[in-house]
A and B are shown apart, each in its own frame.
Chain A
Amino acid sequence: MIYLDNAATTKPDEECLKRAEKYLYSAYYNPSALYAEGYNVKLALREAKKNILSTVADDINFDLVFTSCGTEADNQAIFCGGKRGNAVTTQGEHSAVFNAAMELKQRGMDVRFAALNGDGSVNIDSLLSLVDDKTSLVSVIHVNNETGAVNDITAIAAKVKEKNPHALFHSDGVQAYGKIPFRLTKNIDLYSVSAHKIGGIKGVGALFKRKNLVIKPYIYGGGQESGLRSGTENVFGIKDFEFAATEKYAELSKNYQTARELNDLLWQKLDKSLFVRISPTNNSPYILTVGVDGLRGETILHEANDNGLIIGSGSACSSNEKKRYSRVILACGIGENIADGVLRLSLSLCNTREEVQTAAQILNKIVKNRKEIMS
């Protein structure tokens, strides 16, 4: 089976699992415990925090809070940051941010959504026009999870702070972390990441936080994670995340180049008379999103599955239009005919050139055949 849905989740790295295994079987103690065994686990957590932090930030200006997933990190940022005045985000956010922002709106806050460009990146003029002196939070996704468009959040954050230095700037970095060369700058206050998108296991995420930024906890309890995220830490998952992240960042540029070559090859091999490119050319090399005119993405997904290829789709098999089309794809200005047939092909370094070529062949064949039937 060829797996091209790595933006949904990646295969856990076996080496990292083996290295982290001792935190399941022998060093299983509660890191908050006072005895030496517990303390040693706490030290291991500290080491994990330091190593993960160092991948994209320095530990003088930044800290991080471990969470149970990227969604939790996003929710913590949105609910702890969006406190007064208005909040500004984009129409291209993952549901973890979008629905949290909608909840803020439901609670009476003025929430504003910036328009997108055709490739899924945020329209910066639209975003800046929504920011004013009453804005308390701005959240912009780093890599659009549906199209692979990369937002230059360093530049965007600087422009936002120019307009309102007091607004918190958050970015959902789930599809960027461990994949795109990038460092956190002083204008970025909060940054969410997830372990299972880069070879870690599900159930672990983190929220990078500017060090002197004071935010309230999202989950209350025993005071773990400096009181910002109570609950006994998932030590095994966090150590596994540390090892996966360290491994990814050791060869980030090389990996980026490999993924770029795979992505280019995949697009090259797809029949241009059948597929429309939705991803921009300067997309994240880990995501290639294409559309098929007049066919449903889900139909192709099932048939690909039967032919040994796993991919993602941007539409659901529902007659309910609200559920049928992706709101992000529609916000890109893409018509319903293509929006119905969106396919997201997402790569990891486990994929080979041969796999990518075979995947393109399978998709070309399926779509050609299905178009003939449906014509």
Chain B
Amino acid sequence: MIRVQAMPFDPGGELNTFSQGVAGAGAIVSFTGVVRDVTGGLSGMEIEHYPGMTEKALGAIRGEAMQRWDLAEAMVIHRFGRLDVGEVIMMVATASKHRKDAFEAAEFLMDYLKSRAPFWKKEVTLEGSSWVASRDEDEEALGRW
């Protein structure tokens, strides 16, 4: 399942629903990304995306994960729009018979959606706002897959 939305969501509730839908999968891994104030003074974040391409790109990344690992299901929820510090940005969850598959697939999803799904983050402070630069490590992280 892929969801791209402006609305806040409850990661605990989403994980429960996901888990109930994959009865029989003994291993469930989830990751939740939260807006954090790295430097101090951050008042929030604005996330822009490319409607249409975002869903396609996430669908393709999820599809590849489903092929490469033995998964019962994989889910990605990602928000866009204005978010305050402490708000949940996104989550991924994977379900498998095997722990290793669930962990690896979740990491793969995270690595790919960071630099292959069309989202752009802008940090908003009292002094103004600035686009978050991509990091070389994020691009390099793709090499291990």
Specify whether A and B are partners. no
Residues of B near any A CB (own CB < 8 A): none
Taking beta carbons and an 8 Å cutoff, which residues of A are in contact with B?
none
